[in-house]
Homo-oligomer: A and B are copies of this chain.
């Protein structure tokens, strides 16, 4: 048995999410199907994060175990050939120690959320960014975001479907920066609650439009109540960037 560590890029638009679902296509299912065709074995894929429908991946880490002898390069090439035409690509494949676990060994997760701040609809990036027509004050968003950094009970920013044991998480980074019409939010933590990044970005968008103050954002956090959430951002702009081990 050899454990392989994969680095996966995917376009979330056609998928119901990363995780295998009964009712529609998933990234996990696409890769497991390709792996079965490549090796003849029924494999289970484990990933650093389980992204929602419509959320994208730039370099998701995952692992799987294969019994038959195959080199990492040949496995990667076979998976990429068999994954077509699904918008999923294996960027890297390497042997990993038997105790490596893409989910449980992960020490840090990084997301980026792309906002395009303009009146005109999106063309090339439709489904790959959140278009916000009203002008956003990115500096105010960044300043307010710092009120969420640190160890907190993030119940307000947690989906009702979240399976995490505790709502207490440590947010290491939440940066907002503007480059022309692009406003980019970068979030890093050891782990996130379900919908946490999208919920934080949604509320930051309210701050950026002047509808919420930094104190309103802090108040929403301290309410520890999903009903205090201002807005959940759409999945379109969210990308899982990478996992640290």
A interface residue numbers (CB < 8 A to B): 9-11, 56, 76-77, 80, 83-84, 87-91, 118-124, 126, 128
Given contacts A89-B121, A91-B118, 17 further A-B contacts (CB under 8 A): A9-B120, A11-B123, A11-B124, A11-B126, A56-B124, A77-B119, A80-B119, A80-B120, A83-B121, A84-B121, A87-B122, A87-B126, A88-B123, A89-B120, A89-B122, A90-B120, A91-B120
Nearest residue, chain B, Cβ from A122: B89
Work out how many copies of this chain go into the complex.
Answer: 2
**A80 is contacted by which of B76, B91, B121, B124 (Cβ under 8 Å)?**
B121
Ordered by A's residue number, 19 sampled pairs between the chains whose C-beta atoms are within 8 Å are A9-B123, A9-B124, A11-B123, A11-B124, A11-B126, A56-B124, A76-B119, A77-B119, A80-B119, A80-B121, A83-B121, A84-B121, A87-B122, A88-B123, A89-B120, A89-B121, A89-B122, A89-B123, A90-B120
Q: Which 3 A-B pairs have the closest CB atoms?
A: A89-B120, A87-B123, A11-B123
Q: Which residues of B contact A90 (CB under 8 A)?
A: 120
Which residues of chain B are within 8 angstroms of A89 by Cβ–Cβ distance? 120-123
User: In whole angstroms, what is the CA distance A83 to B9 when docked?
Assistant: 31
Tell me the bound Cα distance from A120 to B124 in angstroms.
21
Contact A124 B119 (CB under 8 A): no
Q: Once bound together, how far apart are the Cα atoms of A84 and B126, in whole Å? A: 12
